[in-house]
């Protein structure tokens, strides 16, 4: 290559670079003009408002999702408690029957092994219920509480005070699962 060819090549490159730079300047000028136009028409402000609206919507959606998770967990706990209470209620008549049977055992057979076995069975069943959170509550001598007691009838005695308990009441973790069936004093 000759010196003349090299000079021509350098000039060509310079012209190409100058043309590219001029094109970049033109593009930047057009972008600036477009931004100025957007500012004048309020497009940027509209975009910012839309962005804020979307952020608010996202925040509400996240809060709704969090509340949904809490509600599902609460419903799961309540359903478990409900199902447990229903199963336990099916065992309570067996406890009642064992208690009635043992309360009426004649003295002459009270010391026999099979009677002791029934006592042990009742105690084991009662202990298992207690480990599950089941407790009986005392009603005799207490004032009637509609949250705990179902009044079957009235008899002479101090008004509003429970005289007799037909059937024990039970709670599961503090919630009544079976009302005590009682006779209440009529005030006579």
Domain limits, the chain:
134-188
Q: How far apart (Å, rounded) are the C-alpha atoms in residues 54 and 46?
A: 12
Report residue 100's pLDDT band, with 50, 70 and 90 as the boundaries: very high
Res 70 pLDDT > 60 = yes
Quote the tokens at residue 59.
């925040």
Question: What is the residue-wise DSSP string for 46-93?
Answer: HHHHHHHHHHHHHHHHHHHHHHHHHHHHHHHHHHHHHHHHHHHHHHHH
pLDDT more than 90, % of the chain:
55
- pLDDT tens, 122-177? 999 999 999 999 999 999 999 999 999 999 999 998 999 999 998 999 999 999 99
Residue 126 CA to residue 154 CA, distance in Å, equals 30
Q: Angle at Cα 81 formed by Cα 80 and Cα 85, nearest 5°?
A: 115
Neighbours of 139 (CB within 10 A): 24
Q: Does domain 134-188 have CATH number 3.40.190.10?
A: no
DSSP 109: G
User: Does residue 182 surpass a pLDDT of 90?
Assistant: yes
Which tens digit of pLDDT belongs to each residue from 11-37? Answer: 777 788 788 888 888 888 877 777 777
Q: How far apart are CA 48 and CA 60, in angstroms?
A: 18
Average pLDDT over residues 47-69: 87
Does the pLDDT at position 116 exceed 60? yes
Handedness of CA 20, 24, 25, 29 (dihedral sign): positive
Percent of the chain topping pLDDT 70: 91
Q: How many CB atoms lie within 10 A of CB 170?
A: 22
Compute CA distances 82 → 78, 87, 95, 177, whole Å.
6, 9, 20, 9
């Amino acid at each position: 290559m000759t010196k003349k060819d090299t000079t021509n090549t350098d000039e060509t490159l310079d012209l190409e670079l100058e043309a590219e730079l001029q094109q970049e300047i033109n593009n930047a000028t057009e972008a600036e003009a477009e931004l100025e136009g957007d500012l004048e028409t309020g497009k940027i402000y509209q975009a910012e408002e839309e962005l804020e609206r979307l952020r608010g919507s996202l925040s509400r959606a996240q809060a709704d999702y969090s509340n949904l998770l809490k509600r599902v967990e609460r419903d799961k706990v309540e359903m478990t408690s409900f199902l447990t209470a229903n199963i336990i209620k099916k065992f309570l008549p067996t406890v009642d029957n064992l208690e009635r049977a043992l309360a009426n055992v004649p003295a002459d057979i009270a010391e026999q092994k099979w009677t002791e076995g029934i006592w042990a069975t009742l105690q084991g069943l009662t202990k298992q219920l207690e480990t599950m959170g089941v407790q009986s509550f005392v009603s005799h001598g207490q004032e009637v509480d509609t949250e705990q007691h179902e009044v079957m009838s009235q008899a002479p005695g101090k008004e509003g005070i429970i005289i007799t308990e037909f059937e024990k009441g039970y709670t599961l973790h503090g919630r009544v699962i079976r009302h005590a069936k009682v006779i209440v004093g009529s005030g006579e």
